[in-house]
Amino acid sequence: MSKIIVAALYQFTSLPDFRELRLPLKTLCDQHKIKGTLLLAEEGINGTVAGTRASIEALRSFLVTRFDDLEYKESWADKMPFLRMKVRLKKEIVTLGVPGINPCDTVGTYVNAEEWNTLISDPDVLVLDTRNDYEVEIGTFQRAINPNTSSFTEFPDFVKQIDKNKHRRVAMFCTGGIRCEKASSYMLSQGFEEVYHLKGGILKYLETVPLEKSLWNGECFVFDGRVAVGHGLELGHYDLCHGCRHPITEEDRHSSLYERGVSCPHCYHSMPPQKRAAARQRQRQEDLARARGGKHIGAVMRGAHRE
């Protein structure tokens, strides 16, 4: 069986007619049996989708007629990592929540994967992981600072704690590059002098830099059914708790606090009884549907996760 192509893409660009793009994009993806999520906003496009080689090429051919500098990366999966296709209209294609931050106007300096090691090995460079805590937990770069955020909207508060007079050179990274574009634009607006970011993100680094030269430790969380990938973009070793959407290990699954489809050690003690009961009911419905050879409409894909 041919592998499923997983395409991650984005571009910051002026898109005043983004609402009118929604229906043509949704129609094309449905016709080609593409699944995943695309976000459209006045500031551009962002998303991850999956399909056959022919279907992804059809979508890409459509996109290049409107987006002339699309940041585009491919990986693969053994089976479809999404349940359905969604094209959503948003205020931002990645939500920082700070008005006036536009990477089209001001953005940090791009650094290719091949040059990244040299930059982050410099002791005078502050290395920032702009991702959320559950992502950082399963893998990050050497010397990287964890901002301990639960969402990207908390990043500006973290930046306020950094002494820009002490840290004149900052290098940041994220999964595919999009959060860093906006984060670098924000930091420049706050007076930081030299801000660099990894072009193509962690995924491009893991695809490009060989294991023996890598400064990456662990795996990279991805927002689809694979949950995580490693070097060479090979499938990782994490699953996902359907109760709290936190990545979990084999050890977590053997914990007395783990209940399939319900809870894990990360959420067991904080989960309200009514939510636990609802999760158990949902899991029973999924099991019954699977036993009948179908798929429960409320099923949660292995890698579905909050933004």
Name the residues annotated as catalytic: 174
285 CB-contact burial (10 Å; exposed 0-12 / middle 13-18 / buried 19+): middle
Report the alpha-carbon angle 168-174-175, nearest 5: 165
What distance separates the 2 farthest-apart alpha carbons in the chain?
Answer: 63
- For the record, the structure tokens of 88 come out as 């959503």
The whole-angstrom separation of Cα 244 and Cα 131 is: 18
Tokens 């007076």 label which residue? Answer: 191
Query: How far does CA 292 lie from the centroid of its chain?
Result: 33
74: CB partners within 8 A, 6+ apart: 5, 6, 7, 8, 56
- Output the six-digit token pair for 251: 């050890």
List the structure tokens of 97: 């929540």
DSSP code at position 254: T
Which of 198, 209, 145 is closest to 176 using CA atoms?
198
Q: Is 91 exposed, middle or buried (0-12, 13-18, 19+ CB in 10 A)?
A: exposed
